Structure 1
C-alpha cells in the first residue's frame, strides 16, 4: 500500500510539474514625447505633453503587478519610466539598447512581469529579439502611444500591439 501511495504522489508531482508553465510578460513602450526645442540636444528631457503621458502610463499600469522596470539610460526614457516605477516602489534598472534580451536579461526576467522603456527603433527591435523573428518595424518618430505586449509560456511566444492614447 505504501508503494502504491508513493507512486501516486510521485506521478501526481511529475504531472503537475509538467503541466504548470511559467509565464513571462513583457510590456514594451517607447519614451513619451521629448522636448524638441533644441535640435542639437542628443539627450532631451520630456516635454509637458511627454510628462503628462508618462503619468498616464503609470495610470495604465496601476492594476498590473510589475516585478521590474527597465529603461535605457537617457533622460526621456528614465523620465517616462519614473512615474510607473515610483507607483510600484521599484528601482529603474538600466539596459543597453545595443545588447537587448541577452541570456542574462532573459534569466533575470523569466517568470516575471516587466516594463521596458526604449526608443522608436529599439522597442520594436527588442520585441523582435524576444520573439526570435522580425515581426515589427521601427515606430514612427511621432508614435509615443504604442504598447507592445509579449507573453512567453513554455515554448509559446505571442505579441500584440495596442495604441494607448
Structure 2
C-alpha cells in the first residue's frame, strides 16, 4: 500500500515539473472505529480496532510529508489524527465541517500537503467541495478505510479513492 501511495505522490509531483502552478494535495480520511457501547454519547473515543487502524494510517502515510493536519472537534477524529500528527511532529488544527474549504482554508493550504480527518458524511463532501463536483457519496457507517487523495494544480483538480482494509 505504501508503494501505491508513493507512486501516486511521484506522479502528482512530476506534474509540477511541467507546471508553474503550485501543487496542493489533500489526503482525506474518516475517523477510525469508535466505541459504540453508549448510544447517548455523541462524542465517543476510538475502540481498540480504531486505535489499531490509526496506527496503521501512520504506516500507510509514512512516505507523505504533511505540512498540516486538520480534524473536526470530536474525540474520535482528533485521536485518529493524533497518531499521524505525532509521527510527523505536527499540531492538529481544527476545521468546521459546516464551513469547509472556504477562502481562508484554501489560502492557508495552497501549495501544501494536508491531511484532513472527518466523518462518514463530511469526508466525501469535503473532497467534492475541493473538486467542485459531486463525485463521492457518503461513506457507509462500517467503512473507516477510505483514503481520498485530491490534487489541485491551478484550475486542474484530480482525485483518487483508495480503499484500505
Which band: TM-score by shorter chain? Answer: 0.7 to 0.9
Deviation >6 Å, runs of 4+: none
Distance 2:147 2:62 in 1: 15
Q: Give me the whole-angstrom Cα distance separating, in 1, the residues matched to 2:157 and 2:99.
A: 20
Q: TM-score, normalised by structure 2?
A: 0.88
1:133 and 1:164 map into 2 onto residues whose CA distance is: 24
Q: Where do 5+ consecutive residues of structure 2 fail to align? A: 1-17
Q: Which residue of the partner structure matches residue 27 of structure 2?
A: 27
RMSD: 1.0
Q: Which residue of 1 aligns with 2:92?
A: 92
Shift of 1:91: 0.3
The residue aligned with 2:116 is 116
Cα distance in 2 for residues equivalent to 1:156 and 1:19? 11
SS of residue paired to 2:97: coil
TM-score of the two chains, using structure 1 as the length reference:
0.88
> 1:129-155 deviations in whole A, cap 9, x for unaligned?
101111111000000000000001121
Distance, in Å, in 2 between the alignment partners of 1:37 and 1:69 is 29
What CA distance in whole angstroms lies between the structure 1 residues aligned with 2:56 and 2:152? 26
Bigger Cα displacement from structure 2, 83-92 vs 58-67: 58-67
Give 1:20 shift. 1.7
Q: Describe how 1:9-158 pairs up with structure 2 within 5 A.
A: 19-158=19-158
Number of equivalenced pairs: 148
Note the C-alpha offset of 1:19.
4.1
Q: Is the counterpart of residue 164 in structure 1 residue 164 in structure 2?
A: yes
Q: Distance in 1 between matches of 2:101 and 2:163?
A: 23
- Cα distance 1:23–1:98, how it changes in 2: closer, same or farther (>3 A)? same
